[in-house]
Amino acid sequence: MRGPAMVMVGIAVVVGAVTVIGGRYYLDRSSQKPQPQPVVVQAPEITTTTVVVAAIPLRFGMELSTNQLKEVAWPAAAAPAGSTRTIAEFLKGPEKRVVLAAMEINEPVLPGKVTGPGERATLSAVIAPGMTAVSIPLSETQGVAGLVMPGDRVNVMLTRTLDLDQSYTDVLLQNIRVVAIDQTIDQRSEKPATIRSATLEVMPQDAKRVALAGAVGSLSLMLRKAGERSTGAAGRISAKDLLLEPDADTTASHGRRTTTVKVTRNGKTEDYTVITDRTR
């Protein structure tokens, strides 16, 4: 029995040796194979500059100084047009600069929001190039109950009465910016006031129309929804139009309406007009 046993032991030794040698060979070959390298995505290099921004909330009429401003890093390709790189450059010279439009913290300080060196925060400084300002007298009713503020957009309406039956209202100008109410030009003012006059930013030719309209009739303002650009308010309303049935465009059509109801009693049908409420 020793012979077969020795043979089995020999076979086991050979198999074990082959297994060890084969495993080492496999490991050596695996270590020699090139390992996949992680893909590194290089972020594009962004060139930055500095931009002068507000360090505190800035409001109309504030005189600017170094402690109200700061310099922040900004992508050079996206720097706002007209921005200044350094506070020293922005405030160079002895002349002061005054805030014309409200700015919040980290908002770039741009030329249209401040006066030039040495200029005062006056109405002339906030008028756009090529435009002019014209003032019209108003009562509280004509000025939308005193709720029109600088920066709002309005339509200007002209009302004339020629004879008892010849009265009409025209829309004289549309989408006009209010630059001042009485002597207030601060767009962040939120306090309603009794309006005595409104100053509007208009083209020079329109300023002449407003002056003439004020001499021949009564002017009033129609407050526009913020951002609205439609011109649906054009057209004339005369005294005779007040007696017409309101159409789908009028405010009256959104209130009470009438309808006809048929009622049958004892075989006899009669028509009745009743008021319906559209809001129900």
Number of neighbouring beta carbons within 10 Å of residue 208: 13
More confident residue, 31 or 24: 24
Question: What pLDDT is stored for residue 194 in this prediction?
Answer: 61
Question: What pLDDT is stored for residue 202 in this prediction?
Answer: 92
The tokens for 100 are 């014309």
- C-alpha 177/C-alpha 232 separation (Å) is 18
Three-state DSSP at 164 gives: coil
Question: What pLDDT is stored for residue 279 in this prediction?
Answer: 41
Instruction: Provide, for the chain, the percentages of residues in helix, strand and coil under a 3-state DSSP scheme, each rounded to the nearest 5.
Output: 25, 30, 40
Binned at pLDDT 50, 70 and 90, residue 208 comes out as very high
Across residues 67-90, what is the average pLDDT? 91
Question: What pLDDT is stored for residue 3 in this prediction?
Answer: 63
More confident residue, 151 or 187: 151
Residue among 76, 165, 47, 185 nearest 123 (CA)? 185
133: left (phi over 0), alpha (psi -120 to 50) or beta: beta
Please say if the pLDDT value at position 120 is more than 70: yes
Question: What is the average pLDDT value for the chain, to the nearest integer?
Answer: 77
CB 209 within 8 A of CB 189: no
Please say if the pLDDT value at position 29 is more than 80: no
List the domains of the chain with CATH numbers: 48-121 (3.90.1210.10), 129-242 (no CATH), 245-280 (no CATH)
Question: What pLDDT is stored for residue 203 in this prediction?
Answer: 93
Question: What pLDDT is stored for residue 254 in this prediction?
Answer: 47
Across residues 185-189, what is the average pLDDT? 56
Please say if the pLDDT value at position 250 is more than 80: no
Question: What pLDDT is stored for residue 50 in this prediction?
Answer: 93
Percent of the chain having pLDDT more than 70?
A: 66
- C-alpha 121/C-alpha 114 separation (Å) is 8
Across residues 212-218, what is the average pLDDT? 89
Number of neighbouring beta carbons within 10 Å of residue 213: 20
Across residues 149-155, what is the average pLDDT? 86
